[in-house]
Structure 1
Amino acid sequence: MPKSANYLLIGSTEPYSGKSTITLGIAHELQGQGISIAYGKPLGNCLTPTSIPTDADVQFITETLKLSQNCIRPTLLMLDQSTIEKRLLGEEKTDYQKSLAQYLQIEGEDLVILEGPSTLDEGSLLELSLPQVAEILNASVILVTRPNSHYYIDSLLSAKQRLGSSLLGVVINDVPGSAQETVTTLVRPFLEARNIPVLGILPRSSLLRSVTVEELVKQLKAQVLCRPDRLDLMVESLTIGAMNVSAAIKYFRKTTNMAVVTGGDRTDIQLAALETSTHCLILTGQLPPDELVLRRAEDVEVPVLSVDYDTLSTVEIIDRTFGSVRLHEPVKVECVKRLMAQDFDFEHLFSHFQLRS
């Protein structure tokens, strides 16, 4: 007789904490250990630009893990404005808890990994919040958080109160080097003394936070002036070229894989940037660059973008893009596997679910 599956629900305390990163890292390790898994995201919220609404994270993880169709649990609905409005008007009356319960009738895998909503509250309108999903499926929960605010510990303590024994543990993700000691020596013991196991403390990775030039083009509504064939380059940092050229060169040499934002009339800064580790030049002020700059950019294969925004607005948009980047590039997948292998407590996971290791 087939065994009923265990359920692991991966949630977060706030959006863009790294749920997909942790999901992928866990799933990859389990596959490597010969443990059969299924994957799903009951509540979709990352639409792909296709005629059939699909969650982009589901599509990416399915393809990356090479999961067969019978190892995918269905996304029950896409959380978009139309769905919310229909629910508020009483036109959408589907019992999604009943739909979710049908997951329990599918048997076979050792572990079903489900990606939960972005917060503990998201999905409440449709009765698919993280605590509700955990209760219906009797799932164990791993919460992912980032120490990017002073109240992330409060969020974890509150989550423990709501989830109780369902909370298997937490992962503190994207920890800056300056916070590493505090998180390890103060935060971890504090949480574990309150029965909140810390399963991993993952250091900040400039690669994981990086974005493609193509994504910057999209977010900035930029015009590509040259090398449209190199929009796959990864940008890890942002530099503003507003200083004198000698100071700029010293600064540029300390930074790698950067986007340089500068005025379209700053030919000296633009040429200096192209001699260092620049992956993208972003020109503001609606001024066309000198032909010399474009020729050099062509030679060194660096895309040059022109934007209609001023420098401050451009920088704000790029900063937001860095903070909300998704894990959709193969080079990032390899980085995730490496980080998880060295910094995540898989033995705790194997022991809890009685999986072979």
Structure 2
Amino acid sequence: MVGVYIGSTAGYSGKNMIAMTLGLRLQKDGYKVGYMKPVGAMPKEIDGKLGDEDAFFVQEILGLSEDVEKVTPVVVNQDFKVKAFKGEHENLMDKIKQSYAELSQDKDVMIVSGSGSMYSGKYCSVDGVRVVKTLGLKSLVIDRYTKELNYDYLLALKETLGDQMIGAILNDIPDHFMDELNNMLVPCLERNGVKILGVIPHDSLMGAIKVADLAERLGGRIIAGSEKADRVVESFLIGTMQVENFMTHFKRHKNSAVIVGGDRSDVQLVALEGKCQCLILTGNLYPNDIIMSRAEVLEVPIVIVRDDTYTVAKKMENILSRHKLRDAIKIQHGAQLVNSVLDYNYIKESIGLS
């Protein structure tokens, strides 16, 4: 039996997507795959047992039904943190080792998923680096592009983990960065021992969210077009500019939500007639009757929120960058993206499966 740890340089980098896709691929290749998320930061209770929400989801996708308390032996909530900071917690690594031993008994390969970054949980000695070393795992590390890549972090991890780090996956890479990545950064990283296992391009669908979920996350209410609340939002525009300038920007951004003050009926009407994905009206101001009527006719959802436009825009930016992988269409699409770029032969050889 072999084990591979899916880690990352930061949270919300795509660990679930890689864990699911790798697990499904290995299952397709005929291997008996197990799954574990030693440390969970999203507590969820099912049938009286506390586990991690992401772990429940990944288990379901992989067709597994192991005891959730073994799959995630350490669940972080506020009580846990208080005890950990006071040094009152038990030896957590022993719990992880025992669970791993039991879950891996009849498996060909164990996929072990991290939580946060490779150093998250260091305050209570259950960080990813320690888990990899303690359980004798191989690891692959995801680095998601956010303004730049964490190349120093990857190089430092390689020094720390040595041969236990088989390589890195670079995720969410925008088109404009591809040349610099391929011509400079990838050669530099590989020259210094960090094998690049795959480069996943930016894809707007992977960060998309349904209007109904968006309204809930923003603390808003859908007041029109609710029958189209399953429509998907991939990006957003702020309607604070003059109508002429807004129209120019709007034509370039399809599948966008438009965030606009509740008193800007001119911009609201342009967005509706252009069939935006949804209107988000700020300041808790209701639209006039004309806007409401057009929204119903054109079947465009209107979401009303209390916050001002700037606050909503910042929340939207955070939501679209951190929205969880849940919808079936996103899982299928994400798997296709990963499968098209990941070097499975190298991974299988590195973890001893070929």
TM-score by length of 1: 0.92
User: Which residue of 1 is the match for residue 83 of structure 2?
Assistant: 86
Deviation digits for residues 278-312 of structure 1 (CA, Å, limit 9, x no counterpart)? 22110113321012222222233322111111111
- Give the counterpart letter for 1:76 in structure 2: P
User: Which residue of 1 is the match for residue 314 of structure 2?
Assistant: 316
User: Which residue of 2 is the match for residue 192 of structure 1?
Assistant: 190
Give aligned-pair identity as a percent.
Answer: 29
Within 5 Å, which residues of 2 pair with 1:142-181? Answer: 142-150=140-148, 152-181=150-179
Gaps of 5+ in 2: none
Is 1:54 aligned with 2:51? yes
Within 5 Å, which residues of 2 pair with 1:5-24? Answer: 5-24=1-20
Determine helix, strand or coil for the equivalent of 1:112: strand
Instruction: Provide the rounded CA distance (Å) in 1 between the counterparts of 2:178 and 2:275.
Output: 28
Determine helix, strand or coil for the equivalent of 2:204: coil
User: Which residue of 2 is the match for residue 295 of structure 1?
Assistant: 293
User: Which residue of 1 is the match for residue 22 of structure 2?
Assistant: 26
Within 5 Å, which residues of 2 pair with 1:194-273? Answer: 194-273=192-271
User: Which residue of 1 is the match for residue 101 of structure 2?
Assistant: 104
Determine helix, strand or coil for the equivalent of 1:192: helix
TM-score by length of 2: 0.92
Bigger mean CA offset, 210-219 vs 137-146: 210-219
> Would you say the 8 A contact 1:11–1:141 is kept in 2?
yes
> Would you say the 8 A contact 1:256–1:277 is kept in 2?
no
How many angstroms does 1:75 deviate by? 0.4
Bigger mean CA offset, 270-279 vs 191-200: 270-279
Q: Alignment partner for residue 119 of structure 2, among 118, 121, 138?
A: 121
How many angstroms does 1:173 deviate by? 0.5
Instruction: Provide the rounded CA distance (Å) in 1 between the counterparts of 2:252 and 2:21.
Output: 31
Instruction: Provide the rounded CA distance (Å) in 2 between the counterparts of 1:343 and 1:298.
Output: 43
Q: Alignment partner for residue 65 of structure 1, among 62, 65, 74?
A: 62
The alignment covers a number of residue pairs equal to: 351
How many angstroms does 1:143 deviate by? 0.4
How many angstroms does 1:88 deviate by? 2.3
Q: Alignment partner for residue 38 of structure 2, among 39, 42, 47?
A: 42
User: Over the residues paired in the alignment, what is the CA RMSD in angstroms?
Assistant: 2.1
Instruction: Provide the rounded CA distance (Å) in 1 between the counterparts of 2:95 and 2:3.
Output: 16
Gaps of 5+ in 1: none
Instruction: Provide the rounded CA distance (Å) in 1 between the counterparts of 2:253 and 2:147.
Output: 26
- Give the counterpart letter for 1:311 in structure 2: T
Instruction: Provide the rounded CA distance (Å) in 2 between the counterparts of 1:282 and 1:49.
Output: 33
How many angstroms does 1:73 deviate by? 5.0
- Give the counterpart letter for 2:336 in structure 1: R
